[in-house]
Structure 1
Amino acid sequence: MKALRPLGWLYLALAYAFIFLPVVVLVVYSFQDGRLPVPPFKGVTLEWYGKILSDRDLVAAMGNSILLAVLTSALALVLGFLAAHGLARVRLPGSGLMRLVLIAPMTVSYLIIALGLLQVFNQVGVRPSLVTAGIGHVVINLPLCFAICFAAMGDQQKSAERAARDLGAAEWQVLVQVSAPMLAPALAAAFFLSVTFSWDEFIIAFLLTRFDVTLPVEIWSMLKSGLSPATNAVGSLVFLISVIAVVLAEILVVRRRG
């Protein structure tokens, strides 16, 4: 077994290189002192970060993405938590089918979901906007929140909820003061995963927005004029915000366990 350890470490190093090397290249060439993000590396400059942060359209798109990610993730979390709690605690006819229907959007392509929503909105006369894109993000994130919350609900929470009801707690108090705090790590994980998925989602945002676009759509518009270190700088900021969301989720989960 000891002879195989070097192979294990080599495999681990190659796996990490395969995952993170593109990100490293993206970040490094966002500081390129030149017009193109290609070798050779000509020096370090913050010009491109200053350029994108002074671009009003880009900053507005970034604000739209953050707003959309936080609000839709919060709504998806509430709906997913309530659905998971109801199906986990109450035996209903066809509850297995209900769970299947709730999780089904996870197996459907975002393109299919976006096209279906676009047709529905066109039929009812609703124009593409951040609201329609937000509805699409809730559709794709609700199954994730439901699955995480449902998997985390066990007998321990059920016993605590029963005890709270026996002590005279109303149903909303059981949900807010007992169920939610006991499921805090799962709720935090579901919320931050939804934020990361919504934050960099492109297809739904592209098809369901018109004037107020999100950051991925704005990046796509920038790429139509060719590659530049500015696009690398935007990508680096997107990656940084995603990392911050994951780190915050880990901190909340570790603190809760502690």
Structure 2
Amino acid sequence: MRALSWLYLALLYAFILLPVGALVLFSFQDGRLPVPPFQGFSLRWYADVLGDRRLMAALGHSVAVAAGSSLVACALGFLAAYGLARHALPGSALIRAVLIAPIAVSTLIVGLGLLLLVNRLGLPLSLWTAGIGHVVINLPLCFAILYAAMGDQQRSAERAARDLGASEAQVIGLVTLPMLAAPLAAAFFLSATLSWDEFIIAFLLTRFEVTLPVEIWSLLRSGLSPRLNAAGSLVFLVSVAVVVLLEILVLARRRR
């Protein structure tokens, strides 16, 4: 029975990781087609990708949109979570449901709705509109993480700080935010990872300045190549690096 459990686990991981493994493997293909048989190890496609100005510009756009939208989503999510967790507002359950509802809505529907709104307002499509879209899809995640982390321990510490004469700004800056450092980091990095990989909203809400997933999609129209594999591998490796950094921060927080 134990052997069957290990076999099932191995097959499960193979099913999940095999496509990514093939992508990374054939990004080192020396030939011009990313298909078997493997024709030798080469870094030429990574050099080609890193030397492509359009891809590097798209990479910079992705980093800027991911970082900016995640910061805004975390800030808005914290304010919403703090207000609903610390104050008895009328209809608070309905407000929480509305804030979390976009998680259950397809990003295609959200993107189309935002595109209609942007066109109605007469705003030009740009990285700013893509960033707004990423805030919309990441805000519910940030809110859910931070709201769940605001328990009785934080409430008691905040009450003690107020009893000692701290102002509301001091309570938030010196007590609440430090105690929520790990959840805030988790919300930020998860939002950045989702924004980094997001395609549909970035495709609908940008025009000339595009993010890396949109640029990779445009390259796909010319056919498969190890160059595309190299670009996709870089996206995957950055996502993994962000998740690993998040895990390190969470583990360090728990050990303290």
Note whether the superposition's TM-score is higher than 0.5: yes
Corresponding residue SS for 1:225: coil
Deviates more, 1:166-175 or 1:219-228: 166-175
C-alpha separation in 2, matches of 1:160 and 1:202: 42
Q: Residue 135 in 1 paired to residue 128 in 2?
A: no
Q: Residue 114 in 1 paired to residue 117 in 2?
A: no
State the match for 2:22 in structure 1.
25
State the match for 2:85 in structure 1.
88
Q: Residue 165 in 1 paired to residue 172 in 2?
A: no
C-alpha separation in 2, matches of 1:205 and 1:171: 38
Q: Structure 2: which amino acid aligns with 1:81?
A: F
Q: How does 1:28-43 map to 2 (within 5 A)?
A: 28-43=25-40
Q: How does 1:223-234 map to 2 (within 5 A)?
A: 223-234=220-231
State the match for 1:248 in structure 2.
245
C-alpha separation in 1, matches of 2:32 and 2:110: 38
C-alpha separation in 2, matches of 1:177 and 1:15: 45
Instruction: Point out where structure 2 has 5 or more consecutive residues left out of the alignment.
Output: none
C-alpha displacement at 1:91, in angstroms? 0.7
C-alpha separation in 2, matches of 1:183 and 1:8: 38
Q: Structure 1: which amino acid aligns with 2:122?
A: G
C-alpha displacement at 1:169, in angstroms? 1.2
C-alpha separation in 2, matches of 1:10 and 1:227: 33
C-alpha separation in 1, matches of 2:187 and 2:178: 14
C-alpha separation in 2, matches of 1:130 and 1:169: 40
State the match for 1:63 in structure 2.
60
C-alpha separation in 2, matches of 1:98 and 1:168: 32
Q: Structure 2: which amino acid aligns with 1:171?
A: E
Instruction: Point out where structure 1 has 5 or more consecutive residues left out of the alignment.
Output: none
C-alpha separation in 1, matches of 2:165 and 2:20: 54
State the match for 1:200 in structure 2.
197
C-alpha separation in 1, matches of 2:70 and 2:166: 28
C-alpha displacement at 1:84, in angstroms? 0.5
C-alpha separation in 2, matches of 1:125 and 1:97: 32
TM-score (norm. length: structure 2): 0.98
Q: Structure 2: which amino acid aligns with 1:124?
A: L
TM-score (norm. length: structure 1): 0.97
String of CA shifts for 1:202-257, please: whole Å, max 9, x gaps: 00000100111000000000000000000100111001100110111111111111
Task: Report sequence identity in percent.
Answer: 69
State the match for 1:79 in structure 2.
76
Q: Residue 221 in 1 paired to residue 221 in 2?
A: no
C-alpha displacement at 1:143, in angstroms? 0.2
C-alpha displacement at 1:47, in angstroms? 0.6
